[in-house]
Copies of this chain bind each other. A is one copy, B any other.
Amino acid sequence: IAKEVAKLLEMKAQLGDEGKSKFVLKTPKGTRDYSPKQMAIRERVFNAIITCFKRHGAEVIDTPVFELKETLTGKYGEDSKLIYDLKDQGGELLSLRYDLTVPFARYLAMNKITNIKRYHIAKVYRRDNPAMTRGRYREFYQCDFDIAGQFDPMIPDAECLKIVHEILSELQLGDFLIKVNDRRILDGMFAVCGVPDSKFRTICSSVDKLDKMPWEDVRSEMVGEKGLSPEAADRIGEYVRLHGGLDLIEQLLQDPKLSQNKLAKEGLGDMKLLFEYLTLFGITGKICFDLSLARGLDYYTGVIFEAVLVQQENDHVEESVSVGSVAGGGRYDGLVGMFDPKGRKVPCVGVSIGIERIFSIMEQKVEASAEKIRTTETQVLVASAQKKLLEERLKLISELWDAGIKAEMLYKKNPKLLNQLQYCEDTGIPLVAIVGEQELKDGVVKLRVVATREEVDVRRENLVEEIKTRTSRS
């Protein structure tokens, strides 16, 4: 069949453009391949993140790319329409995972785990409108770190913020700000502003748009579309423009209305504790308590946070412009209970690093710089200057591989020396091990340093050591 199809395609191609129009050579909408160069950058970002997660003692787990459809049902609110379903081919109904949090909760409930600190780096799937230049894809990586378990308040929550701070500092993406709020403060605020209980979630999702829309538009959505009273909306408007640090928390704890609300008081008390811990970590400079932060997902129950990169507009340091969220997370104490047959809860707090956006930025930075990215780690090219030395090259490269040296050779019987040297230039291989008649007689190999063109004869028995020494320096 394969041969027949190939023949047919060939025939069609000869007929002109007809064949082409029949078969589209592309990846699915909203997805992409990663080239070796992109992979090299991706690995660099992953390494920084994984190193941080491991520094904080996290274990790692993995879950399947699809879940039973019912596992995802009722977890994402309106966004459920973005879930990819698999075709019913007989058997179970399956969906591609939408995030790593719900599979994590399912994993905890299924294995009756009440206590774990884990990270999980994997692809998730959303049938969203892709905006690939801004790093928004239908298939994209999430890098999640979560702490599950019943602990003393705000200690794991503070660690999650420390982790965001460490990763964004390490990656050197420019100045950033981590906004923090608490679902309980939001709910308390809605209550004292006169929002009916039934409208909490929908008003919350309006507030969530404040980073993209001006207050006036959000207000008219609340009043116009969602039927909130103008007075309640205006009271919300007073609160959501507030942001600050410990001083603001103290101020709100004195607020005559908020301080009377049980939920808000709890949230503000915990927020104060959180800021004390963050002060001990020395990171409050980048943290901002922001009453307009709401976060879309339904399952948050306590602290929520979001990190954004801030850009100075030109040189006038007038106002910093947010270029979008690069990390987010929060506390979700109810999600595991949704999976437990007896509803037993496992409190969780976690953070998700927005790797695709970070990756886009890193890629642009590399593109803009003169840096040449190597896509292999090859230490030495085994080459020859004369003909008929294929067997000798094979023998030598085999010795080097067996000694753990990263080595390549051209797959030609009689390659030209110039081509071999050019290959090193192109791919960044630092050394060339050249075998020739004379070297073989003398029991040596000519080792050439590509950068300096320096050449030395090295005794064959010393070659491995010599290559190791010369490549460990860089």
Residues of A within 8 A of B (CB): 1-3, 5-6, 9-10, 13, 19-20, 23-29, 31-36, 39, 42-43, 54-68, 70, 74-75, 77, 84-89, 91-92, 94, 96, 106-107, 109-111, 116, 118, 123, 125, 127, 139, 147, 149, 151-152, 155-156, 158, 162, 166, 201, 277, 280-282, 298-299, 334-335, 337-343, 375-378, 390-391, 394-395, 398, 401-402, 404-408, 411-413
With A60-B39, A84-B86 known as contacts, the answer to whether A1 contacts B413 (CB < 8 A) is no
Copies in the complex: 2
Please determine whether A2 and B57 come into contact, CB atoms closer than 8 angstroms: no
The minimal Cβ–Cβ distance linking A24 to chain B, given in whole angstroms, is 7
Residue of B155, B298, B408 near A1 (CB, 8 A) is: B298
Cα A86 to Cα B413 in complex, Å, equals 47
Please determine whether B77 and A1 come into contact, CB atoms closer than 8 angstroms: yes
* Chain A interface, DSSP helix/strand/loop, else mixed: mixed
With A57-B407, A398-B162 known as contacts, the answer to whether A75 contacts B28 (CB < 8 A) is no
The minimal Cβ–Cβ distance linking A167 to chain B, given in whole angstroms, is 12
Please determine whether A39 and B57 come into contact, CB atoms closer than 8 angstroms: no
Residue of B61, B74, B85, B376 near A35 (CB, 8 A) is: B61
Residue of B63, B92, B341 near A25 (CB, 8 A) is: B341
Please determine whether B92 and A28 come into contact, CB atoms closer than 8 angstroms: yes
Contacts of A337 in B (CB 8 A): 6, 9-10
Please determine whether A28 and B66 come into contact, CB atoms closer than 8 angstroms: yes
Contacts of A34 in B (CB 8 A): 61-63
Closest 3 CB pairs of A and B: A151-B411, A36-B59, A10-B343
With A13-B341, A28-B64, A398-B281 known as contacts, the answer to whether A298 contacts B106 (CB < 8 A) is no
Show 28 residue pairs from A and B whose CB-CB distance is below 8 angstroms, ordered by the A residue: A1-B77, A2-B75, A2-B77, A2-B335, A6-B338, A10-B342, A13-B341, A23-B339, A23-B341, A25-B106, A26-B68, A29-B91, A29-B92, A33-B107, A34-B61, A34-B62, A34-B63, A36-B61, A36-B116, A39-B60, A42-B62, A60-B375, A85-B87, A155-B411, A158-B394, A162-B398, A277-B394, A280-B395
Contacts of A280 in B (CB 8 A): 391, 394-395, 398
Please determine whether B398 and A64 come into contact, CB atoms closer than 8 angstroms: no
